[in-house]
Amino acid sequence: MPGFELFGDLERNEVNDVLKSGVLMRYGFDGMRNGHWKAKELEKELQNTFQSKHVQLVSSGTAAVSVALASAGVGAGDEVIMPTFTFVASFEAIMMLGAIPILVDIDDTLGLNPEAVEQAITAKTKAIMVVQMCGSMANMDALQSISNKHNILLVEDACQAIGGTYNGKPLGSIGDLGCFSFDFVKTITCGEGGAVITNKKEYYLNADHYSDHGHDHIGNDRGAETHPFLGYNFRISELHAAVGLAQVKRLPEFLEIQKRNYTILRDALSQIPEVTFRTVPEGGEESYAFLNFFLPDLEIANNVSKAFNENGVDACWNYYNNNWHYIRKWNHLKDLKSLYSISEEVKQGLEYLQTKTFEESDHYVSRNISCLIKLSWTEDEVRNRASKMVEIIKSII
């Protein structure tokens, strides 16, 4: 991770196909494109990759979450349960629909704590959105049981976990809807792009129409298409889809490299008794895009993180002090700093953030170090990196 590290002729050839046709838009212009339909081809490839009946490409992972929720009817005043540890896009995508993000604690999987989810359900709860952070998964059996018990949607934000599996099923394909990001720093990239996946045809058709201004995509004359309902522009371009089409064909190659590099690092850190690792639920396999481990306390984690940076061990973070990935510093959310007026429903729905504390999330995030696994590392570079990480941690502990 990320796929751009290994761009090659396959990506260039797919992009050149689009440039030769001159058609950069995924819809229409049938006569000009010489049979090239990159977005359609990528959707078919992703159906196989995700073992899912339907795939709708969109412009980003953030768009994928909004489109997925909208396609299932989530909207104004509805509550969507989400974790405290994620990217800011998670709550942005919910609020874009006028819905209310309800943040709850994580557990040692670094994903949603099922007990916290159960306690947060109200009459307004429309969906549970599990975020498969840093290449792994939450306790999916427990979350699926809660979803079924209360007859509410289970939506998977698997933007950071392409290639991970749970009981043999790709992450993203377990819930009612799955969401993926193909931005520039994901394991496979389109530059910018995302996807909604589902086995439910109704949700797919809604996503297909909603992401293109409500177009029904019936017939061969785009100007004559009808609009069954309101929609917006979350389209992907043929150029972006072309890059993704090349990248998805290389996913097995990327995952193999990630697993090799991850395993070398983890085996080395396992020598240190004070280092423990995130829990991966039984039956789960990470995508190996990140290595996540816990240290004894926040002070040690901060010191290790600082020493890593000072000694050339890049791409390792302690998210506790991060502005983008943890509730603690999301002041723009807590204070509702917006360019436009926020609805009273959402304002009232988010008042809980003024007093709510998340001690369990603090317990895990404060001690966690998350290390990106690069595809471009040679095996010797990874082994040298592992030795340096062990040396630094031992010197601080």
CA-CA-CA-CA torsion sign (185, 188, 194, 196): negative
Quick one: pLDDT at residue 346? 98
Examine the pLDDT at 20 and tell me if it is beyond 90.
yes
Tell whether 43 and 70 lie within a shared domain: yes
Among residues 38, 126, 186, 374, the one annotated as catalytic is 186
Name the residue range of residue 321's domain: 252-396
Which residue, 217, 232, 250, sits at the end of a domain? 250
Mean pLDDT across 203-211: 98
Mean pLDDT across 226-234: 98
Model pTM?
Answer: 0.97
> Is 374 annotated as catalytic?
no
Q: Which helix (H) or strand (E) holds 14?
A: helix 9-21
pLDDT band at 182 (very low <50, low <70, confident <90, very high): very high
Quick one: pLDDT at residue 338? 97
Tell whether 217 and 314 lie within a shared domain: no
Examine the pLDDT at 81 and tell me if it is beyond 90.
yes
Tell whether 231 and 348 lie within a shared domain: no
Q: Any idea what the CATH number is for the domain that residue 222 is in?
A: 3.40.640.10
Query: Is residue 128 a contact partner of residue 147, using CB atoms and an 8 Å limit?
Result: yes
DSSP 341: P
Both tokens assigned to 352? 């809980």
Quick one: pLDDT at residue 1? 83
Tell whether 211 and 273 lie within a shared domain: no
Quick one: pLDDT at residue 376? 97
CA distances in angstroms from 117 to 68, 127, 138, 306, 358, listed in the order given? 20, 11, 12, 34, 13
Mean pLDDT across 368-388: 98
Which residue, 232, 250, 268, sits at the end of a domain? 250
Contacts of the segment 266-272: beta carbons below 8 A, 24+ positions apart:
266/291, 266/293, 267/386, 268/386, 268/387, 268/389, 268/390, 269/293, 269/386, 269/389, 269/390, 269/393, 271/390, 272/390, 272/393, 272/394, 272/397
Tell whether 237 and 91 lie within a shared domain: yes
d(CA 132, CA 278): 13
Tell whether 32 and 88 lie within a shared domain: yes
d(CA 67, CA 249): 25
Which residue, 250, 266, 286, sits at the end of a domain? 250
Tell whether 229 and 175 lie within a shared domain: yes
Helix-strand-coil split of the chain, %, nearest 5: 45, 15, 40
Question: Which residues have C-beta within 8 Å of that of residue 61, sequence separation ≥ 6?
Answer: 89, 157, 159, 179, 180, 181, 182, 183, 186, 194
Q: Any idea what the CATH number is for the domain that residue 392 is in?
A: 3.90.1150.10
d(CA 177, CA 153): 8
Query: Is residue 287 a contact partner of residue 164, using CB atoms and an 8 Å limit?
Result: yes
Give pLDDT tens digits for 301-342: 999 999 999 999 999 999 999 999 999 999 999 999 999 999
Question: In 232-378, which residue ranges form alpha helices assigned H by DSSP?
Answer: 238-249, 251-269, 298-310, 331-334, 344-349, 359-365
- Domain count within the chain: 2
Examine the pLDDT at 177 and tell me if it is beyond 90.
yes
Tell whether 272 and 325 lie within a shared domain: yes
Q: Which of 108, 65, 60 is nearest to 90 (CA)?
A: 65
d(CA 78, CA 125): 6
What mean pLDDT is reported for the chain? Answer: 97
